[in-house]
Amino acid sequence: MLSVKRLFQIIIIILLISVGLLFYNINYMNMVTTESFQQMEELKQPILELQTLPESKEATRFLIVGEPSSTYETTVQTNIFETLKSMKVTYTEKKSIGKENLKENPVLIFCVTNPVNAVDLDLLAEFIGDGGKAIFAAGIPENYTASYLYPIWGILEKGVLIASNEFHLFDNFMPYGEITFSYDGYNASTTLRLSPGTTIYVEDKNHNPILYENLYEEGKVIVVNGTLLDNQDSMGILSASVSKLLGEIIYPVAGTKTFLLEDFPPSYWLDSVANERLYGRSGESFLRDILWPALLSYSSNYNIKYTGIMYENLEDGSPSYAQNTKLTSYLAQELYKYSGEIIYSKRESFVLSSITSGLQPEESSFIKYLTNLILRGQVFHNINFRQLLLARTEETGWEAVKEDFSRLVKNYFESTTWLTATTYSEAYEHQIAYEQLDMVTEYKDKNIQIYCSNFLSGQAFYLYSGRKVKEVIGGDFYPLNNSYYFIQAKEAHFVIIYEE
């Protein structure tokens, strides 16, 4: 008969072996480790398809016009460069332009508030009147030195500067429905009364135009009435403006939506006393019977894959151990079962950063969500459950946040079910493919021909067009609203066919 001491020794050995096997499974069963990320960074996507591209015949060129004279204008200029790079369109920078620069009918984007020093205003009026296009991205000057441009800008009356911190986006301006949201950046707009021919795409809560389009004779301009484009989080506004101004454009995006669950499964002790008081059950029962089923329902309704993150160290720097062995094993199996994954990693090892975070929607950061949605085709949210699982009061527990959390998931994911649901490692793969993609586009009367190199099958694109798409040869298409289409290319050369 075994002694009590010997029996405890055997139990401890069995527990150590179980924990060791658990972490072995976490590291090697369909998982991404820190070393795997390093390998992915070195390999840079070896499955990309390389093609020889035809010579570009792109008719549209962008001229970024103006010499910044302030930190604000320099930042606007830099953000414009980064936005056009993300859309993979060609552009040239010019401090000033003359008639010779306008021969090929470029699209002008002014990065300075007052264009008077960047172009002769008579020449600019003539260019736009003859069918030219321009975006005035840096706002409207406070003084009246550019009042000559008021007819081009569609301004009947100009008032004073006001701060705007709540915006309303109209339908079809972005691949998202009509919405009003708070803005956490600083934006100073001028009160304006516009001519009847203008079209407002963004306004503030007092119905003052923030971004609008004006038709001037045969040409068209878009005016940003404010300072919001010095904020990188707002650059989706410029991307949408480029699409509206051109009337037809296709550009690549990552096309993914990703959901990280940090410190999940939990590697720390769950407070059974607090959980019993808050939920009438143990911490393990709360996770297994309440929280995880709720997450599964969102996954099913909104097409979401989850990536669980287990860190090597806790937030205080102490080593992380699987304290809840049985629960951890169950949740790991559930994640794999529903096409998810677990990453066991250092906290600083992540290449991709989440766009939004938290259990409750942050309305003031919604512009960041929209920018990443339209500019990169990404939704990337993360939640750290540690605070929730270690909650001590009802105000910080699940019952207090579950309705807001449901609203958050609905706002971010319900309207983007067409994006590809990805785990973190899959999102990384798509991001590398998007960054390395080279493309040549030929716009024709009845179709668009797209040639790609460094191509990954399933590469996503946004198409903005006023025409109806009939089919995509070499890919699939999904109408998002009356203006935007989501394209998934299956072949490096694909063709978009319009209805006649």
Q: Is the distance from CB of 233 to CB of 367 less than 8 angstroms?
A: yes
Closest CA to 263 of 328, 326, 353: 328
Per-block mean pLDDT, blocks of 10 residues, the chain (500 long): 51 47 45 46 57 76 96 98 95 96 95 94 96 96 84 94 92 93 91 95 96 97 97 96 96 97 79 74 84 94 92 62 74 93 76 87 85 96 82 75 91 92 94 94 94 94 96 97 96 95
Residues 233 and 302 in one domain: no
Global pTM reads 0.87
- Residue 498 pairs in a beta bridge with 469
pLDDT at 11: 47
| Residue that finishes a domain, picked among 384, 418, 452 | 418
236 shares its domain with 273: no
Please count the structural domains in the chain: 3
pLDDT of residue 47: 62
Q: Which of 221, 246, 271 is the last residue of a domain?
A: 246
Q: Is 489 in contact with 474 (CB distance < 8 Å)?
A: yes
CATH of the domain at 125: 3.40.50.880
Cα separation, 420 vs 439, whole angstroms: 21
Residues 369 and 400 in one domain: yes
Last residue of one domain, picked from the residues 387, 418, 449: 418
What sign does the dihedral 45-50-54-55 (CA atoms) show? positive
Q: Residue 38 falls within a domain, yes or no?
A: no
| Contacts by 319-323, CB closer than 8 A, 24 or more apart | 320/267, 320/268, 321/19, 321/267, 322/19, 322/22, 322/23, 322/265, 322/267, 323/266, 323/267, 323/268, 323/269, 323/270
pLDDT value for 60: 66
Residue 251 lies in a domain: no
| Rounded Cα distance, 468 and 485, in Å | 9
Q: How far is CA 340 from CA 305, 311, 424, 444, in A?
A: 5, 17, 9, 42
Both 229 and 295 in a single domain? no
Classify residue 262: in a domain, yes or no.
yes
- 260 shares its domain with 320: yes
Residue 104 DSSP label: T
In a domain, 31, yes or no: no
Please indicate, yes or no, if residue 40 is contained in any of the structural domains: no
Same domain, 217 and 138: yes
* Residue 17: inside a domain: no
Q: Are 265 and 228 members of one domain?
A: no
The predicted structure's pLDDT at residue 316: 61
Judge if 165 and 262 occupy the same domain: no
Task: Report the pLDDT value the prediction gives residue 15, as an integer from 0 to 100.
Answer: 45
Residues 342 and 487 in one domain: no
Domain range holding 453? 436-498
At residue 4, the pLDDT reads 46
> Are 191 and 307 members of one domain?
no
Same domain for 393 and 286, yes or no, is: yes
Residue 12 lies in a domain: no
Domain annotation covers residue 2: no
Q: What is the DSSP string of 17-80?
A: HHHHHHHHHHHHSS-EEHHHHHHHHHH--TTPBP-PPPPP-----EEEE----SHHHHHHHHHH
Q: In terms of domains, do 189 and 125 share one?
A: yes
